Amino acid sequence: MLSSSTDRAARLLFGVATGGVVLLALVVAAAGSVGIIGGIEPAFTTAHWLAVLSTPTLWLSLAYSALIAMASLLPSVLLALLIVLAAGERLRRAPLGALLYLPLAFPGVVAALVAVQVLGGAGWLSRIAHTAGVLAAPEEFPALVQDRIGVGIVITHMLMVTPFFVLLIDRLSTLERLDALAALGRSLGATSAQVLWTIRLPILLRGLTPVCTVYGAALLASFEVPLLIGAQHPAMIAVEIDRHLHPLDLSTQGQGYAMACVHVMLLTGIWWRMSRPAARR
């Protein structure tokens, strides 16, 4: 085990490495948002902040991003729970145990390109439905890519996130010895439903809550998938920031920095909220 001084040094190094990057990003975003850097003629101004805060673009993007993140995360966790409860020990044996790692190897860009090939209007599903006689033409397939509701983004995120939570829940079950606790509960007269609702789920949810929060923040900030298969409007916050930071008209670049500043502060607030209970423990 690490000594207390080594442990403190490791924590300090980790804090500087992560916090330093966040602080640097926040400083750069703040400087750009008031015109100190970027733009046509750098000069201090609050016009970018007034433009961002007075128009609904920022708030719409944040709300849309939060809805997409929740719509991706909650079904993924529920599906992962069902898979773990149904498969049990088979998750630790081939081929199912090995297949779970395959989606985790797909970067966001690759997952988005696969989604286009599978879910697009001329994709595999539309052509299969047309060949089977379900659709008169492939174009009748419902829009799942670049749709305003974000169905394609949610499906793609779920396919990427669910295997991770399956592995996590299975690992938590092993670490918490849930099978032994469930057997003990049944020996004391508990039914299968009581074991599930009073033993398995409370312990799993307690362990999953911090990870779900962090993963939800990551989905909130996702970029590649919504950029490639999301609609032009509304757009998730990372895509909206990128559009403002790389425009043809440099006069709107400061608005992108202001949006980035709000986004970084929001993610920092989520991280700070999650770190406080851990520090108290």
Contact 245, 256 (CB under 8 A): yes
pLDDT at 70: 95
pLDDT tens track for 131-177: 888 888 777 888 788 888 899 999 999 999 999 999 899 889 888 88
Average pLDDT, the chain: 84
Q: What would be the CATH architecture of the domain defined by 56-280?
A: Orthogonal Bundle (1.10)
pLDDT at 254: 87
- Rounded to 10°, the helix 4-33/253-280 angle is 160
Contact 29, 261 (CB under 8 A): yes
Contact 67, 148 (CB under 8 A): no
Residue 62: pLDDT above 90?
A: yes
Residue with tokens 């985790």: 104
Mean pLDDT of 24-44: 79
Residue 250: pLDDT above 80?
A: no
pTM check: above 0.85: no
pLDDT at 42: 65
Provide the terminal-to-terminal Cα distance of the chain, rounded to the nearest Å: 19
pLDDT at 86: 84
Residue 277: pLDDT above 60?
A: no
DSSP code at position 150: -
Q: State what percent of residues in the chain have pLDDT above 70.
A: 89
The Cα–Cα gap between 35 and 218 comes to 28
Mean pLDDT of 47-52: 89
pLDDT at 248: 64
pLDDT tens track for 74-116: 999 999 999 988 887 777 777 777 778 888 888 888 989 888 8
Q: Which tops the pLDDT comparison, 244 or 6?
A: 244
The Cα–Cα gap between 60 and 235 comes to 8
pLDDT at 72: 94
- Rounded to 10°, the helix 237-245/57-87 angle is 140
Q: Is 24 exposed, middle or buried (0-12, 13-18, 19+ CB in 10 A)?
A: exposed
- Confidence bin at 281 (pLDDT 50/70/90): very low
Residue 280: pLDDT above 50?
A: no
pLDDT at 4: 64
pLDDT at 155: 93
pLDDT at 15: 67
